[in-house]
Amino acid sequence: MSFNEQFEAANGLMYDKIYSEAIFIWEYMLEENPTNANILYKIGMCHIYLNNEKKALSYFEKAQYSVVKNYNPFSSLEKNAPPELYYYLAKSNHAKGNIDTALYQYDFFITNVKKKHSQYDHGVLGLTQCKNAKKMMGNPEPYIIRNIGSIVNTEFAEYSPVISIDGSSLFFTSKRLRTDSSNYRYKNIANGDYFEDIYVTYRDMNGKWSKPKYLRFCDPRKNNASISVSPDGQEIFVYEDINNGDIYHSTIEDTAFLSLEPFPAEELNTDAWETHATISPDGQSLYFVSDREGGMGGRDIYRIKILPNGEWSKALNLGPPINSEFDEDAPFLGADSKTMYFSSNGSKSMGGFDIFVSIMDESEQWSEPINLGYPLNSYDDDIFYTTTADGLTGFYSSDKLDGQGDKDIYIVETENSYVKNVAILSGFIITNDHSMIPKGVTIEVTDLTDATPTRIYRPRRRDGGYVLNLKPCHTYGLDYKLDGEIFYSTEIYVPCNSSYQEIKHELLLDLINLEGSELTAMPINDQRWEFSNSEYIKQLEGQSVNIYENDSLIYTDFINKYGQFPYKSLDPTKSHLFKLEEADFDFCDDLILNLVDTSNTILDTYTFFANCETKPTVTEFSTILTTPIFQYNFGYNADKFNTKNEALNLYVQGIKQLVDAGKEVTILVYSSASKVPTKQYKSNYDLAVKRRDSGKETLTKVLKASGIDMTKIKFVDKSALVQGPDYNNDAQEKQHVYQRYQYIKFEIQF
């Protein structure tokens, strides 16, 4: 290919916005023409269009001495660069923090071009922003800013973080390679990156973030970007580059997000570019960004509200002082629905987009925006700032020089909260057997001070958590319901306080006897899967389990913090495969998975076999042994069980199968007593030991009666435990609770 043909090809790729491919050709041409200022300028501009000003800098620096006014961008004979190179040179130095150099270069540019030049106003803006930067950097704010770390950030770009107001769920966008490599073949031809996916990470009670997982509605062949999330983290708003860019949303059903749907408001999505939307914590207003006609300039922030008839209003441009002749983007509302954080690249910024805050007054007028200052804001783009309910902890993305990759996500701690006069009720519904809360649990909140409509909330099924925003000086009635039936009611008075306050509330849900409710016991056939390996439970939390039927995926669920996930009936006439997706941790003990009913009886058991030498990525259930674990739950003070127990006989058949196959079998023996006082034994510990010894004797009799060679059997005594809730003179009422901790358990190793 000749030089002319290469030039035409690279120019054409730039015209089609395929910049990464254009760079490849320009760089190839530059090897043969290292002093060609036009090629240097073209490469620099490709990096500008890819938002990589820092990479563009070296090319502009080499080309700056060959600038001519009569520049022809379409001629392969052109070896010089245009005057706007000086603007982009200043912009690149600005983004890299070379403020004094950028000041000089902006001034040089606007002095040497006419005011009608397309970049003249941007040059003046850059000059103003550099002056702002010097002033703000000389008076830094007392922020504590830290990179969220490698659990979230990678060498790829991570950005657009959005946090639930209780800080438990963090959603963000990344261009990384998925751990399952399902996006390996798909890259954006414009920039050579993987397409955008939305990930979520959950923070446990110890502040540790779980391994991020991408949301399953993400298409590996197109961009899906997180833009906001509802206060409770159960509805997410998503940007898709369809129809020039539109807003979609998804809600959680059970433990997974549903497929994306356009947001049901006629005024939101148009033929223009809609980049962002966020809903107020009270659910009454939605703020969004659009570059539609009739705005003040570039992208503006608009608002729509819920009307009395339940429909959305017409879109209202917020106007000044929020919007300007430049771009505004990424609004987020504080927990009071009156504090708005947003980004602007206007004349009060110190470079690119800066983060601002504005407060709504009683007449719904927004205050003059305040730049949140340095070092939260930098001389490059700082955008997508969202906070937890108290306004003291924020999350945002930035391409600071200390990042781990392209853009990174940072945590911000500040002494100053702009959120006022707000209260949050956060809590957990915990089941007495530590299973996931049932489907159909809702919390109905009635404001007993004001005559406002009752609000309905759904707690998270994965951990039973919930978060509600309330008003100080108000009294609320809370009805906790299961399938419409109340199982607990209470009233909460929120004290009068002009600042932030948080009320915590935890509720124990007794699945058998629900106080103050006519609800009867959960059907005895309700079941769940439960891993018994306590040492691996923390690593299993959040892992997805895919269930396949005849090689077809039939459903996916997620393991909760107790190592459990819901049971769904399977067709016994078909073959099934369970897969732990993304199981990238080592385990040197078999993972034991039990099928358990509501009385905590183990109905069936399967094994994920360990392999310490080869790290497992997908492990299949064993079919060698039907029941590798046998557990029997005793009544009060009992220590013996019937040798004709059907489950025990099935268990022994499995052991015989192993011995007949030439294997030596080790049986680990565990036992437990509850904390209900015993009069028959010296202590509860003695009862636990008696259960262990008696259990071994019983199993030995059955093994011998089955003709098993006992020289192939070895018993190993494990812990005899006293555990469970403290006794409170409630043995009859909570018999089913205490019985869970009264057992003998055998576990096979071979």
CATH number at residue 288: 2.120.10.30
My answer on whether 462 and 572 are in the same domain is no
- Average pLDDT for 600-609: 67
Helix axes 37-49, 85-96, angle to 10 degrees: 50
Closest Cα partner for 189 from 216, 148, 215, 221? 221
- Write the CATH number for 82: 1.25.40.10
Q: Which of 125-139, 162-176, 194-208, 573-587 has the highest mean pLDDT?
A: 125-139
Please say whether the beta carbons of 570 and 549 come within 8 A: yes
pLDDT in tens, 655-696: 888 888 788 889 989 888 888 888 788 888 899 999 999 889
Q: Is residue 521 part of a domain?
A: no
My answer on whether 564 and 694 are in the same domain is yes
Q: Is residue 375 part of a domain?
A: yes
- pLDDT bin (cut points 50, 70, 90) of residue 601 is low
What's residue 580's pLDDT?
A: 72
Q: Is residue 550 part of a domain?
A: yes
- pLDDT bin (cut points 50, 70, 90) of residue 520 is very low
Structure tokens at 106: 């902006």
The three-state (H, E, C) secondary structure of 299-343, written as one string = CEEEEEEECCCCCECCCEECCCCCCCCCCEEEEEECCCCCEEEEE
Is 70 exceeded by the pLDDT of residue 335?
yes
pLDDT in tens, 270-313: 889 999 999 988 788 999 999 999 899 889 999 999 998 888 99
My answer on whether 545 and 497 are in the same domain is no
My answer on whether 451 and 574 are in the same domain is no
- pLDDT bin (cut points 50, 70, 90) of residue 559 is confident
Average pLDDT, the chain: 83
**Of 509, 535, 568, which residue is a domain's last?**
509
Q: Is residue 520 part of a domain?
A: no
- Write the CATH number for 480: 2.60.40.1120
- Write the CATH number for 711: 3.30.1330.60
My answer on whether 394 and 431 are in the same domain is no
Is the pLDDT higher at 488 or at 402? Answer: 488
- CA torsion 92-97-98-103 (nearest 10°) is 80
- Average pLDDT for 382-389: 88
My answer on whether 406 and 429 are in the same domain is no
**Of 137, 172, 198, which residue is a domain's last?**
137
My answer on whether 104 and 43 are in the same domain is yes
pTM above 0.75, yes or no: no
pLDDT in tens, 605-654: 676 665 554 433 333 333 334 457 788 888 778 888 777 666 777 788 88
My answer on whether 282 and 361 are in the same domain is yes
Domain that holds residue 64: 3-137
Is 50 exceeded by the pLDDT of residue 729?
yes
What's residue 64's pLDDT?
A: 95
My answer on whether 644 and 702 are in the same domain is yes
Task: Work out how many domains the chain is built from and give that number.
Answer: 4
Is 70 exceeded by the pLDDT of residue 351?
yes
What's residue 586's pLDDT?
A: 58
What's residue 613's pLDDT?
A: 47
What's residue 624's pLDDT?
A: 39
Q: Is residue 519 part of a domain?
A: no
**Of 356, 388, 413, which residue is a domain's last?**
413
Is 60 exceeded by the pLDDT of residue 164?
yes
Is the pLDDT higher at 142 or at 406? Answer: 142
- pLDDT bin (cut points 50, 70, 90) of residue 400 is low
Q: Is residue 725 part of a domain?
A: yes
Q: Is residue 516 part of a domain?
A: no
Q: Is residue 518 part of a domain?
A: no
My answer on whether 126 and 152 are in the same domain is no
